[in-house]
Amino acid sequence: MSRRGRFHRALLGRGFTAQLVVPVVLALVTLALGDSARAEEPTGREIVDRVENLLWSNTMQGEFEMTITTPRWQRTLSLRAWLDRPKRSFIRILDPAKEAGIGSLRIGAEMWNYLPNVERTIKIPPSMMMQPWMGSDFTNDDLVKESSVVDDYTHRVLRTENVAGAPIYVVEAVPKPEAAVVWGRILFWVRTADFVPLKEELVRVMTYSEVRPLGGRVVPTKWEMRPMRKSGNVTTVVLKNAVYEESIDSEIFTQRNLQRP
């Protein structure tokens, strides 16, 4: 006799009627399924980790267009970036001619900027990591990914909600007491279906849009950063192309390469 049949017979032997057996069995099955579903729900850390891996992977090479807008002026930069997470990263400005050749190199916790017009390499102290990069609303840390929103924060899922008919995780990240980070509480809005980020909020709001296939994955290709305290300021980054999970020549991440615009 099957396990289900023995369970059914045992219930009847204890005075349960057939009319009661079916509801009891259904209730137990529903409870078991519910526990299984809850067990499979990702943690806040897992969600943020999935987002970071989607956007950056272990290695990433890509070309970006960054448009910086303020109430007084606007300019657009073309960039190329190489990231070997979490150890090192390199960014080079390609255009316009006035800024072409400027580079930023990060190895571990150290960062350098190279200015070709004066042929000078400047080491960026830790106190400057939260300063704007090239006048944008992104910091030096944002661009070279020195701190880790996965490792330097604790996370929890606050709730799920619907955005444009799609279920979304809302995740809170709070810095660990020992973490050398400036940002406090961060909120993330992430699609439950594929972990595509839609929004990130701290003292700035980052929105992600124009989700499409690129580099063998589906990613948001337009990122818009707005500081809450600077009305009229916005920095928009458009990802033009990207290659993920391919080895990068170690020579890229050297001061010799930094000084070779």
CATH of domain 44-258: 2.50.20.10
Which structure tokens are listed for 107? Answer: 């190895």
Which structure tokens are listed for 50? Answer: 């999935």
pLDDT, averaged across the chain: 86
pLDDT digits (tens, 9 = 90+) for 238-260: 999 999 999 999 999 999 999 98
The full length of the chain comes to 261
Write the DSSP string, 43-100. Answer: PHHHHHHHHHHHHH-SEEEEEEEEEEE-SS-EEEEEEEEEEETTTEEEEEEEESTTTT
pLDDT digits (tens, 9 = 90+) for 56-109: 999 999 999 999 999 999 999 999 999 998 899 999 999 999 999 999 999 988
- Contacts by residues 158-165 (CB-CB < 8 Å, ≥ 24 positions apart): 158/187, 160/192, 163/189, 163/198
Give the chain's residues under pLDDT 70. 1-39, 145-147, 180, 182
**What is residue 157's DSSP assignment?**
E
Name residue 85's beta-bridge partners.
Answer: none
* H helix intervals, 77-171: 140-144
What is the per-residue pLDDT for 249? 97
- The CA distance from 32 to 114, in Å, is 60
What is the per-residue pLDDT for 255? 95
**Taking the domains of the chain in order of start, what are their residue ranges?**
3-40, 44-258
Please confirm whether the linkage preceding 86 is cis (ω < 30° from 0).
yes
Using DSSP's 3-state secondary structure scheme, residue 112 falls into strand
- Contact between residue 222 and residue 66 where contact means Cβ atoms under 8 Å apart: no
